Structure 1
Amino acid sequence: MPERIFHIATAADWRRALDTGSYTTSTIGRSLEEEGFIHASRREQVQGVFDRYYRGAGEHLVLLTIDPARLTAAEVRVEPVGDDTYPHVYGPIDRGAVVDVTPLDRRGRPETLMSVWVKGMALRMGLALLAMAALAALLWALGLTR
């Protein structure tokens, strides 16, 4: 069994897990109760899973890094899926078993602190330019500019 396993989650589902203490979403739109297990993957499978199932999610996504040794109420089974095998978590994932949470960009790649900062700065600059343009238009309309 791999030392660490990975699961793509919506940020909203992860926030809910922080409140309740355990994560119970199997895959986007399906619960552990409905599916019977939580889908996971090895690191090298994450991009393919993202491309197949999450690319058009339209929600903020995070990559959960899970330490199976920290699971208290779940068992991890590596099972065949098509021509490959994937880890499946049979039971809820304890919040404490999640050792890292990484935001994913729209292409499924990890966002760094720098990329999050740059996007935030670009948004703030865009809003500032829009506000300045609106102010200039108002001043022109009031005849206060030459």
Structure 2
Amino acid sequence: MLIFHIATATDWSAALASGAYTTSTRGRTLEQEGFIHAARAEQWRGVHARYYADADEPLVLLEIDTERLASRVVLEPAVPGGDETYPHVYGPIEPAAVLRAVPVDDALGATSFSALFLRELMRAAMLGLLVVVLAAVGALLVDEALGGWGVLVGAGLGAALAVALAAVAVRRW
């Protein structure tokens, strides 16, 4: 099952460094709350509107695969006796369980999470195309200069340049 959690970019960066995400909700830790608040795909926008709309720091939307979590996930009512349930994660979230961390502004701007996924897929395809094109150009240029192994060396150099450019582009996105 996929669940979602809104995190500050700072908390998510700290989790990547430490290997565990332990913020329950805005201003509360897992230790204080006893679990980490999460939402289903159709719920996270409402959570953002109610609790994070006035945030003055960058936020990211974490897409979490519950099958990858070591911690237990329980669907529980938001209020005692309520009908609507929310996923609660009873333990830390390992960064490996997070499939994507997307800036909330980007996620809110997407017409659907599928549209956001498609946009990211297109970015990845464009970066892949860049690698292929620069590898081909490198192979052609270096082959004429070196001959023999020049094609392989040129393709490697072109691909390495493309990967370096892609890394810079990904950091900016």
Structure-1-length-normalised TM-score: 0.71
Gaps of 5+ in 2: 111-115, 124-168
User: What's the offset of the Cα at 1:79?
Assistant: 0.5
CA-CA distance at 1:107 after TM superposition: 8.9
Encode CA deviations 1:74-100: one digit per residue, 9 max, x unaligned: 100000123310000000001100011
Looking at structure 1, the residues matched to 25 and 108 of structure 2 have their Cα atoms a distance apart, in angstroms, of: 15
Identity of aligned pairs, percent?
Answer: 56
Asked if the contact 1:51/1:108 (under 8 Å) is kept, the reply is no
Bigger RCO of structures 1 and 2 (CA < 8 A, at least 6 apart): 1
Q: Which has the higher helix share?
A: 2
1:76 is aligned to 2:59: no
Aligned length: 113
RMSD of aligned alpha carbons: 2.2
Unaligned segments of structure 1, at least 5 residues: 121-146
CA shift for structure 1 position 106 = 8.9
Q: What is the TM-score normalised by the length of structure 2?
A: 0.60
Helix, strand or coil at the partner of 2:47: helix
Q: Deviations over 1:101-142 (max 9, x none)?
A: 11012994458679xx9xx8xxxxxxxxxxxxxxxxxxxxxx
SS at match of 1:62: strand
Structure 1 distance, partners of 2:26, 2:96, is: 21
Structure number with the higher strand fraction is 1
Shift, 1:31, TM fit: 0.2
Q: Secondary structure at the match of 1:58?
A: coil
Q: SS state of the match for residue 39, structure 2?
A: coil
